[in-house]
Amino acid sequence: MDYIEVEGKTYEEAVKKACIELNAKEEDLDIEVKEIDTKGILGIIGSKKVRITARLKEKDEERETPEEYGKKFLKKMAEMLGIPSEVEVKKVGDRIVFSLSSREGGLFIGKNGEVMEAIQFILRLAIAKKFKQSYRLLFDINGYREKRKKALIDLAKRLAQRVRKTGKPVKTKPLNAYERRTLHTFFKNDRGIETKSEGEGPQKRVVISLRKDKKDENGKG
């Protein structure tokens, strides 16, 4: 038997019954709630039951990893758009990095990486829905992020020089979360410069300013 329908007073009780019946762990089952039924007198006294259906996951589903699923997801997306591409996947710490390469990469990047960020968001949602948990991941196209990172750091260095010269804080243009984190990390150990994010949503910027102790030394606040 690989498919059953069971009832319990709670969802947990119904799942436990299904696990016993199928001799499997909860993570090995696909579970769907079919009914939540409450009966009683004026809703004060009564009984409640939860009915679920449960089946064993297919072997292919058990073996497939988030990396494999994400790679297939991206390749299928590119195929639907009729754009030849290759996708590589690697783990960097606890983050899954998906790198797509294509001659038409610009279509996936968009202005200031906006399309790329949208694809990353959709990819994260798709993987989370498939595996019932959230994963840290990064989506890159034709090495765009590394090039963008270098350009950002070069800009940040110039802005930091201006801050040191004038003592006044400066703001970047709106940056996405990854770009803001890049700048915060770059200046993390700088003894003279500090950074903070300012703004809401897509209008968030990084403010670069002198560290407070440096302001005090210079008599500027």
Say what the pLDDT of residue 42 is.
40
Residues 135 and 87 in one domain: yes
88, 115: one domain = yes
Q: Which of 142, 173, 191 is the last residue of a domain?
A: 142
Is pLDDT of 89 > 50?
yes
Count Cα atoms within 13 angstroms, Cβ side, for 36.
6
Check pLDDT > 90 for residue 72.
yes
Q: Which CATH number goes with the domain that contains 190?
A: 3.30.1370.50
* Of 80, 114, 142, the domain-final residue: 142
pLDDT at 220: 46
Q: Give the structural domain span for 163.
A: 146-218
Would you list the DSSP string of 71-91? HHHHHHHHHHTT---EEEEEE
Residue 59 has pLDDT above 80, yes or no: no
Confidence of residue 209 (pLDDT cuts 50, 70, 90): very high
Q: What is the mean pLDDT of residues 81-90?
A: 90
Same domain? 161 vs 136: no
Q: Of 102 and 47, which is predicted with more confidence? A: 102
The answer to whether the beta carbons of residues 83 and 104 sit under 8 Å apart is yes
Q: What is the DSSP string of 58-73?
A: PHHHHH--HHHHHHHH
First to last CA, the chain: 74
Statement to judge: residues 81 and 119 lie in one domain: yes
CA distance 67 to 94: 12
Final residue of a domain: which of 17, 33, 57? 57
Three-class SS of residue 23?
coil
Mean pLDDT of the chain: 85
Place of tokens 């984190």: 181
Residues 30 and 93 in one domain: no
Q: What is the pLDDT of residue 50?
A: 83
pLDDT of residue 203: 85
Q: Tens of pLDDT along 145-191? A: 989 989 999 999 999 999 999 999 999 998 888 889 999 999 998 98
Distance between CA atoms of residues 111 and 108, nearest Å: 10
Task: Give this prediction's pTM.
Answer: 0.58
The stretch 58-63 carries a mean pLDDT of: 61
pLDDT at 2: 62
Q: What is the structure's pLDDT at 60? A: 55
- Tell me whether residue 134 is exposed, middle or buried, using C-beta atoms within 10 angstroms of its C-beta: 0 to 12, 13 to 18, 19 or more: exposed
pLDDT confidence of 44, banded at 50, 70, 90?
very low
- Residues 136 and 173 occupy one common structural domain: no
